[in-house]
Amino acid sequence: MYKQWSVDLNSDAKLMPKQVESSLQPNGEKTSPISVILVSSGSRGNKLLFRYPFQRVSENTSSATSKQRSPYVLNTSGDSVEDQDGDSREQTPLTDEQLVAGFSDSILATILATKSDMCGKKFELKIDNVRFVGHPTLLQPPHTIQANADASVINCMHNLSRRIAIALQHEERRCQYLTREAKLMLAVQDEVTTMTETDGTPQSPFRQILPKCKLARDLKEAYDSLCTTGVVRLHINNWLEVSFCLPHKIHRVGGKHIPPEALERSLKAIRPYHALLLLDNEKALLAQLPLDCSPALVRLIKTCSAVKNLQQLAQDADLALLQVFQIAAHLVYWGKAIIIYPLCENNVYMLSPHANICIYSPLAEQFALQFPGHDLPSMLAKFSLPVSLSEFRNPLDAPVHEAQLIQMVVWMLQHRLLFQLHTYVCLMVLPVEEEPGLWEEEPPLVTRVTGRSLSTPSALSFGSPTSSDDMTLTSPSMDNSSAELQTGGDSPLNKRMTETLLASLTEHERQAILRVPAAQNPEDLRLFARLLHYFRGHHHLEEIMYNENMSRSQLKTLFDKFRSVLVITNHEDPIISLFQSPPD
């Protein structure tokens, strides 16, 4: 492929594979690059075009030798994940100089200018403590990363390399952008070399390149952004936009990052009854969007609210449900929103175990600024025991005050200080009467769910066509079973249905259920049988309410009637709790 390129290009600057590499920063920060390097390989040999941060030319014989870290020192970075090679140890902190300074410009040029065979694929090279990641094509920005980087961080870096490469490739084809920039860089380097020879004062050529060369500035910006916010937005040649985010930097909870795979799994499990909570205010978020972004995104941001579930949001914003799911997932991935259960009176919240409740935390300050007269720890103390929104608000307060309390709850949710508790139900009957010798053979006392699949559609499958399943949720009253069973009384059809549903249980379980006094009432028994498949502890009350179009009180009454065969517990929803707490 590159052979084709060499024909198009200027004959004296036959640009072959270039590499821009980035290296990850030392001092335990495993998700930041150490440097960004641009290397070219051409008819004039291998050349290092640009690197950032600059190498200090004066040889700082740093007496700061790498401290042998005591294994008992507090692990502050918290990112003890396995790296690509399975190394999960903490890196001993070394300064930039020691790590990448060890590599002179010329050696970098040699090792990073790969052969054509390696073009078009991910390039990865590890030398002692430094890892180089890039995408050899025409113009691959290799990134040098600390050797212990998580495999997914490496993949993300590679992704960025590739995107920059593609943009540069495009601009090269259109207007020889890269050739021009490379010429500039080499010219400045030559200039500085001659100056050094005459003056004798060593200077870094790369520092001189920066003001003259847009590409160099872009690479510097990419590096800086990756190290700080994890969000990169460049305009290559002031024309093509390259945007990228490093989820590892954005999704950090409690000092640990949420791995992208876990994030993606959670996103696929979103349901229409969930809601989207923006983490920034609407104006700030809209200001961050690029000019040519989709109007659907803008509409969605303007319409979304903490009390509206995704289904309602779709209706209000006049968008298809699937589209709403996709946009929501996008916003979550970019760290601009999280998924919650929509706010309502009966929601029960509790303090998250990972919440920072220190009085000196920056959160406390922000809260005080936002809500003068209130302090965060006192508010948080109120959620020490699970409290519902209705309890939290005092109905005797003025409405203005009430509104402010809701705002505070939203604020606390946005900053991951609270999570919501849901009720989960599990069928569990009394064991077989003990008889000597029978202990070892106790039957598993758990409901087996067979046959009947849930009416909930599988939530989100990216890119798949809208299936009719997704659409049934728009009108839950279309649920067949409830329509049928509403034909009252003891009709043989209903009776048979109940029997079928109960057939998935063991004889013992069936008997136990039938012994409950409430089972004498056919309506109650029917309802119980119909909801049986939810009683495995994996579906919370609100989900059952939504799927079966029932009210909270209806369900609670049923649970109460059959309490001798049910066990109830409250805890957070594991699907969306990912956004509140780091995974194990």
Partner 1 sequence: MGSYRRIDCIFFSEFHPTLGPKITYQVPEEYISRELFDTVQVYIITKPELQNKLITVTAMEKKLIGCPVCIEHKKYSRNALLFNLGLVCDARTKTCALEPIVKKLSGYLTTLELESGFISNEESKQKLLPILSTLLEELNVTGACTLPIDDSNTIHLKLIEQRKDPLVVQEYDVPVFTKNKDHFIKSQWDLTTQQILPFVDGYRHIQKISAEADVELNLVRIAVQNLLYYEVVTLVSIFQYSNVYCTTPKVQNLIDKKCLQEECIHYVSKLGQRTNLRDVFQLYCGLTPGTTVRDLCSRYSHQLQRVDERKLIQFGLMKGLIRRLQKYPVKVVRDERSRPPRLYTGCHSYDEICCKTGMSYKELDERLENDPNIVVCWK
Pick out residues in 337-356 that bind partner 1 (CB under 8 A): 350-353, 355-356
Cβ distance to partner 1 smaller for residue 163 or 540: 540
Q: Which of 15, 429, 525, 529 binds partner 1 (CB under 8 A)?
A: 429
CB of 61 to partner 1, least distance (A): 18
Query: Is 59 a residue that touches partner 1 (CB under 8 A)?
Result: no
CB 153 within 8 A of CB 249: no
Which residue stretch of 5-13, 168-176, 276-284, 429-437 sits at the interface with partner 1 (rule: CB under 8 A)?
429-437
Cβ distance to partner 1 smaller for residue 8 or 375: 375
CB of 421 to partner 1, least distance (A): 9
Query: Is 537 a residue that touches partner 1 (CB under 8 A)?
Result: yes
Cβ distance to partner 1 smaller for residue 250 or 253: 253
Cα 511 to Cα 305: distance, rounded to the nearest angstrom: 47
DSSP string, 557-572: HHHHHTGGGEEEEEEE
Query: Is 111 a residue that touches partner 1 (CB under 8 A)?
Result: yes
CB of 575 to partner 1, least distance (A): 9
304: exposed, middle or buried (Cβ count in 10 Å: 0-12, 13-18, 19+): buried
Q: Which of 71, 290, 373, 463 binds partner 1 (CB under 8 A)?
A: 71
Query: Is 521 a residue that touches partner 1 (CB under 8 A)?
Result: no
Residue 491's SS3 state is: coil
Task: State how far the alpha carbon of 494 is from the alpha carbons of 328, 454, 483, 524, 526, in Å.
Answer: 41, 19, 12, 12, 8
Q: Phi/psi at 286 (nearest 5 deg)?
A: -65, -35
Residue 24, H or E segment: strand 15-24
Cα 536 to Cα 176: distance, rounded to the nearest angstrom: 63
Cβ distance to partner 1 smaller for residue 20 or 149: 149
Cβ distance to partner 1 smaller for residue 85 or 499: 85
Query: Is 433 a residue that touches partner 1 (CB under 8 A)?
Result: no
Q: Which of 72, 211, 372, 477 binds partner 1 (CB under 8 A)?
A: 72
Q: Which of 397, 442, 469, 484 binds partner 1 (CB under 8 A)?
A: 442
Q: Phi/psi at 228 (nearest 5 deg)?
A: -105, -80
Which residue stretch of 114-122, 248-256, 295-303, 328-336 sits at the interface with partner 1 (rule: CB under 8 A)?
114-122
Which residue stretch of 105-113, 303-311, 318-326, 470-478 sits at the interface with partner 1 (rule: CB under 8 A)?
105-113
Cβ distance to partner 1 smaller for residue 431 or 517: 431
Cα 317 to Cα 491: distance, rounded to the nearest angstrom: 44
- Determine the distance from the C-alpha atom of residue 474 to the mean position of all C-alpha atoms in its chain, rounded to a whole number: 27
Query: Is 114 a residue that touches partner 1 (CB under 8 A)?
Result: yes
Cβ distance to partner 1 smaller for residue 82 or 469: 82
CB of 365 to partner 1, least distance (A): 14
| 325 Cβ contact list (under 8 Å, min separation 6) | 270, 310, 459, 460
CB of 504 to partner 1, least distance (A): 15
Query: Is 571 a residue that touches partner 1 (CB under 8 A)?
Result: yes
Q: How many residues make contact with partner 1 (CB under 8 A)?
A: 73
Query: Is 107 a residue that touches partner 1 (CB under 8 A)?
Result: yes
CB of 283 to partner 1, least distance (A): 32
CB environment 54-86: b (16+ within 10 A), e (fewer)? bbeeeeeeeeeeeeeeeeeeeeeeebebebbee
DSSP state of 273: T
Query: Is 48 a residue that touches partner 1 (CB under 8 A)?
Result: no
Which residue stretch of 167-175, 329-337, 524-532, 561-569 sits at the interface with partner 1 (rule: CB under 8 A)?
561-569
Which residue stretch of 56-64, 280-288, 299-307, 531-539 sits at the interface with partner 1 (rule: CB under 8 A)?
531-539
Cα 35 to Cα 381: distance, rounded to the nearest angstrom: 45
Residues 75-104 that bind partner 1 (CB under 8 A): 75, 80, 82-90, 103-104
User: For helices 214-227 and 177-199, what crossing angle results, to 10°?
Assistant: 90
Cβ distance to partner 1 smaller for residue 107 or 478: 107
Residues 132-151 that bind partner 1 (CB under 8 A): none
CB of 357 to partner 1, least distance (A): 4
User: For helices 522-531 and 492-502, what crossing angle results, to 10°?
Assistant: 40
| 201 Cβ contact list (under 8 Å, min separation 6) | none
Which residue stretch of 93-101, 137-145, 189-197, 442-450 sits at the interface with partner 1 (rule: CB under 8 A)?
442-450
Cα 356 to Cα 240: distance, rounded to the nearest angstrom: 41
Residues 221-260 that bind partner 1 (CB under 8 A): none
Query: Is 415 a residue that touches partner 1 (CB under 8 A)?
Result: no
Cα 328 to Cα 273: distance, rounded to the nearest angstrom: 13
| 99 Cβ contact list (under 8 Å, min separation 6) | 23, 26, 34, 129, 130, 146
Amino acid at 294: S
| End-to-end Cα separation, the chain, in angstroms | 45
Residues 379-398 that bind partner 1 (CB under 8 A): 380-381, 384-386
CB of 574 to partner 1, least distance (A): 4
